[in-house]
Structure 1
């Protein structure tokens, strides 16, 4: 069992961010993409920090994709905002 150290606590905050973003997207009729993708990106970064200290390669790869998709979503939202 992993100790409840600072990297683990950071990972829990990251997990909470991702769960919040998913619930926000699911529960809101018209979710703000900056909130959705920004919170997902924050969660991926926090989980990656935790994984740096407690390595798990498949999870780190997942967080890399999660962050890339969040950045893509933010870029799309910025482009849509500029076009409007």
Structure 2
């Protein structure tokens, strides 16, 4: 079950990443940021439950950055560093 959760979370991050690399979406779009937030939150929770502290740090920060980027977009502002 652990592996299924990790694969699910990873897919939520990898799909928008691939689409952005192929020019099909923007890394600053609501969809991209929402999927990144959900995927990284799933992986952070899994890492916390299994005491994988380095992975928790990576995914926790990823979730926080995605969250604030999504908030900026929802408020009609471009996330910092966006061009």
Query: Same fold judged by TM-score > 0.5?
Result: yes
Give the alignment partner of residue 5 of structure 2, picking from 5, 10, 21.
10
Tell me what 1:74 maps to. Answer: 70
In structure 1, the gaps of 5 or more residues are 1-5
In structure 2, the gaps of 5 or more residues are 78-83
Aligned residue pair count: 76
* 4+ residue runs over 2 A deviation: 28-32, 52-55
Structure number with higher helix proportion: 1
Alignment root-mean-square deviation, CA: 1.8
Which structure has the higher relative contact order (CA within 8 Å, separation 6+)?
1
